[in-house]
């Protein structure tokens, strides 16, 4: 069965923020859960569809790939969907987001939470984006406090079990088949409370620390694209995995090129005589050394707006799918002032322009577009 658009599934716009996506997911999960729709044989599939849409759109990397490549995009990040998972497993996986559990199942005891993700913006030059590079990055991560070893309690003391939730980290009420669970307000889901806080971290269990790292920028990265660096976000406060670091790139413009995906467009100005008689011009291009110039032959009779496409002279695809093309667009430079001798030559030429123009228009060939677009496979 053909998959529906994830934005359509959740009923949100393509500009929706994470909070709006999570809110839509919570509402729809309640509506379509099989326990509330036992007479609907497709209820489980509907629930998985909603969960899959949320999983993709709430993750910056998967969402970016989906926006660019459709349903095939998230597979590039290793996501294969939830078709092989049971509803109970899915509910346990999303229990923290949903804030409730159906049928009373779900995680018990203090919650082991992953560390928070980090997001940074990195500025790179056009050439660095085209070739790929190594860029240093300075970040501040939360590290385990050495004074309390991450407990948040004053040295010589230990956290005690939360009396509100009995150490479970959650409080809840049951209504029919639904058990509504939420984070314990007393211990904030930890299952423990701190009576005397560590002075070094003020009870947080972690302190900020400057760290240096190197980011590998893949060749062909585009402005606004995001790279995920797994496990380089903040450490978990409860012994779980560290969060991820998301690096969004801001690529500086280059006056020599206009970018169209993996393709490049550059403009070359010709004099009238060069366009009429033909010539050889220098054209900027990209290679492993950066921006270089290459020779390009201009055929006689080149018209303003004519385009020559140089195959494989564009940018490498960021996912390793070949290299784009370079389109060279020609313009004709018209002098603003003339010497008397130049004016005389132009006036003599004008006597023949009518006949030459008629011949040129009669023989003008059809011209192709900038780039050949590959037909999509059906």
Task: Give the tens place of pLDDT for each residue, 194-212.
Answer: 888 887 888 777 788 888 9
- The tokens for 28 are 């729809």
Assess whether the region 107-159+194-252 and the region 258-363 belong to the same CATH fold.
Answer: yes
Q: What share of the chain is helix, strand, coil (3-state, %, to 5)?
A: 25, 30, 45
Specify the DSSP class assigned to residue 323: B
Nearest to 255 by CA among 229, 284, 234, 223: 284
pLDDT > 90? residue 69: no
Give residue-wise pLDDT tens across range 311-364. Answer: 999 999 998 889 999 999 999 998 889 899 988 888 888 887 765 544 554 445
Q: Are 225 and 64 in contact (CB under 8 A)?
A: yes
The CATH number of 1-106 is 1.10.287.110
Nearest to 83 by CA among 18, 178, 1: 1
Measured distance CA(279)–CA(330) in Å, rounded: 12
SS3 173: strand
- The tokens for 76 are 């590039």
Q: Are 147 and 155 in contact (CB under 8 A)?
A: yes
| Topology classification of domain 107-159+194-252 | HSP40/DNAj peptide-binding domain (2.60.260)
- Average pLDDT estimate for 176-194: 71
pLDDT of residue 368: 52
Q: Which residues pair with 140 in a beta bridge?
A: 210
User: What's the Cα-to-Cα distance from 89 to each of 77, 86, 189, 267, 342, rounded to whole Å?
Assistant: 21, 5, 21, 57, 83
- The tokens for 127 are 């050439």
Nearest to 113 by CA among 273, 2, 239: 239
User: What's the Cα-to-Cα distance from 276 to each of 346, 357, 364, rounded to whole Å?
Assistant: 14, 12, 14
Q: Are 280 and 297 in contact (CB under 8 A)?
A: yes
Banded model confidence at residue 39, pLDDT cuts 50, 70, 90? confident
- Domain borders along the chain are 1-106, 107-159+194-252, 258-363
Banded model confidence at residue 174, pLDDT cuts 50, 70, 90? low
Pairing mode, strands 263-270 and 258-260: antiparallel
pLDDT of residue 83: 65
The architecture of the domain spanning 258-363 is Sandwich (2.60)
Measured distance CA(344)–CA(324) in Å, rounded: 46
SS3 193: strand
Angle (nearest 5°) at CA 165 between 167 and 99: 105
The proportion of the chain whose per-residue pLDDT surpasses 90, expressed as a percent, equals 35
Average model confidence (pLDDT) across the chain: 81
Residue 26 Cα to chain centre, angstroms: 24
pLDDT of residue 121: 94
Q: What separation, in Å, do the N-terminal and C-terminal C-alpha atoms of the chain show?
A: 15
Helix (H) and strand (E) counts in the chain: 9, 16
Measured distance CA(211)–CA(234) in Å, rounded: 12
């Amino acid at each position: 069965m053909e998959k529906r658009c994830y934005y359509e599934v959740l009923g949100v716009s393509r500009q929706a923020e994470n909070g709006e996506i999570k809110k839509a997911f919570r509402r729809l999960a309640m509506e379509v859960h099989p326990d509330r729709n036992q007479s609907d044989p497709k209820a489980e599939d509907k629930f998985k569809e909603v969960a899959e849409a949320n999983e993709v759109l709430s993750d910056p990397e998967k969402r970016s790939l989906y926006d660019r490549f459709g349903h095939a995009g998230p597979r590039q990040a290793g996501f294969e969907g939830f078709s092989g998972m049971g509803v109970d497993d899915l509910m346990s996986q999303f229990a923290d987001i949903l804030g409730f559990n159906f049928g009373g199942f779900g995680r018990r005891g203090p919650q082991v939470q992953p560390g928070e993700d980090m997001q940074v913006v990195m500025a790179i030059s056009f050439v660095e984006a085209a070739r790929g590079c190594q860029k240093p990055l300075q970040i501040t991560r939360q590290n385990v406090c050495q004074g309390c070893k991450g407990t948040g309690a004053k040295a010589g003391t230990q956290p005690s079990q939360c009396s509100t939730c009995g150490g479970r980290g959650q409080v809840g009420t049951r209504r029919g088949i639904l058990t509504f669970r939420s984070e314990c307000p007393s211990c904030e889901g930890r299952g423990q409370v701190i009576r005397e806080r560590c002075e070094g971290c003020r009870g947080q269990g972690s302190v900020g620390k400057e760290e240096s790292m190197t980011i590998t920028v893949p060749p062909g990265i585009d402005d606004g694209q995001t790279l995920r660096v797994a496990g380089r976000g903040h450490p978990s406060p409860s012994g779980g995995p560290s969060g991820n670091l998301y690096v969004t790139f801001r690529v500086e413009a280059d006056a020599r090129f206009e970018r169209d995906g993996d393709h490049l467009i550059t403009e070359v100005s010709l004099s009238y005589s060069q366009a009429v008689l033909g010539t050889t011009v220098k054209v900027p291009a990209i290679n492993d050394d950066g921006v270089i110039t290459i020779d390009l032959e201009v055929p006689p009779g080149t018209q303003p707006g004519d385009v020559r496409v140089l195959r494989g002279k564009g940018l490498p695809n960021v996912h390793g799918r070949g290299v784009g093309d370079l389109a060279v667009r020609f313009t004709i430079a018209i002098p603003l002032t003339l010497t008397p001798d130049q004016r005389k030559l132009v006036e003599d030429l004008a006597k023949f322009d009518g006949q030459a123009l008629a011949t040129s228009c009669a023989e003008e060939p059809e011209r192709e577009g900038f780039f050949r677009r590959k037909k999509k496979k059906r």
